[in-house]
Amino acid sequence: MNARWWDIEHAVDHPAVRVMLLMVAGLLVGAGVIIGVLSVLGKLKSEMRTELIRRTVAWGVMVPVVVGPILIAPAWGGLMMGVVSLLCYREFARATGLFREKALSALVAVSIGVITFSVVDHWYGFFMALGPLSIVVILAAATLRDEPKGYIQRIGLASLAVLLFGVCLGHAGYLCNDGTYRPMVLLLLACVGLNDIFAFCCGKLIGGAKLAPTTSPGKTISGAVGAITLTTVTFVVLGSMVFTAGPLSQMHHLIVMGIMVSTAGILGDLTISSVKRDIGIKDMGVVIPGHGGVLDRCNSLLLTAPAFFHYVGYFQGVGLDTPTRVISGGLGP
């Protein structure tokens, strides 16, 4: 079978993949042990214990659901990110009311689907063109309705949806076209997830001034500084195992990428917090116990994925060592 669709026998060949999988498993087990010990010692209130258990169990389910397709083969990693993009868009459309604009909403969904096709196909030129082309189609469709009232809101929401869930998240999927995609994608996902945890823990332990009190009252400056520091250290340690040769193996690149991933993660979180605050809701959904919706869990990836992708692409290249247009190659130039 084509290795693009089935390559699980090589899933853990890279030592960095083994280290990160063991690290994640250790964190999940460790979290359960800590919750149990604190509960026995009476250090956790009943509500907090229940919330922490829900969050830990949710992580235990989310990790294999996300990591599994990435380990199986590149195509499944790209498809998984496409499904995540559609789920995020569904929550966004329902929360903002865009779902009522059935034609425009359908165009956004189709755009995300076609972008996912370009990712799985490894067709970079098409992938880069689809963002602006999708917005052109949305503008044309909205204009032809001859209904100027509410026009700006409709096209604004639809265009933002294509940008965030098609283009931005699509970059995370496109990383799967690289020959050593597994350690790179797992590095990105691990650091983005840990960045949220570091920010939460540092904020609770240190407290202090709020980072953006109107947008997200729970976030503190100490949490952001702690997250940037700890995530950068984590990225340098893990990244040195992922990028073992070439420019990105140099310390200054690892540090810059670590800071970039953490900062973009925080800003991505605040981006969706701004949307939620504007429309007056707490969570984008309720599908993940203790975490809210899929978009609440993926918000930190929205800005991080394209930033990481293009940094790696500029200094090293992404997917230069694998066949391109694996599906559409026989259809024309």
- The verdict on residue 186 lying in a domain is no
Does residue 330 register a pLDDT over 70? no
Residue 67 covered by a domain:
no
| Amino acid in the structure at residue 299 | N
Is 306:167 a contact under the CB 8 Å cutoff? yes
Rounded CA-CA distance 167/160 in Å is: 10
Average pLDDT of the chain, as a whole number: 93
Q: Is residue 310 part of a domain?
A: no
Domain that holds residue 147: 74-177
Residue 1, CA distances (Å) to 4, 9, 73, 94 in order: 8, 12, 11, 40
**How would residue 59 be classed by pLDDT, with cut points 50, 70 and 90?**
confident
Whether pLDDT at 1 is above 70: no
Residue 103 lies in a domain: yes
Return the DSSP state at 323: -
In sequence order, the 6+-apart residues with CB closer than 8 A to the CB of 87 are 287, 294, 295
H-type alpha helices, 41-180: 46-72, 74-96, 102-121, 124-144, 151-161, 169-174
pTM for the model stands at: 0.94
The answer to whether position 48 is within a domain reads no
E strand segments, 248-332: none
Give 219-262 pLDDT, tens digit per residue: 999 999 999 999 999 999 999 999 999 999 999 999 999 999 99
> CA-CA distance, 126 to 196, in Å (whole number)?
33
Which residue do the tokens 């044309």 mark? 140
Place of tokens 């650091």: 191
Is residue 253 one of the residues assigned to a domain?
Answer: no
User: What pLDDT is recorded for position 2?
Assistant: 85
Total domain count, the chain: 1
Asked if residue 160 belongs to a domain, the reply is yes
- Residue 112 placed within a domain: yes
| Mean per-residue pLDDT, 18-43 | 88
In percent, the amount of the chain with pLDDT more than 90 equals 80
Say which range, 57-66, 100-109, 316-325, has the weakest mean pLDDT: 57-66
272: CB partners within 8 A, 6+ apart: 284, 295, 296, 299, 302
What is the tens place of the pLDDT at every residue in 274-290? 999 999 998 888 777 66
Residue 210's φ and ψ, nearest 5 degrees, are: -80, 145
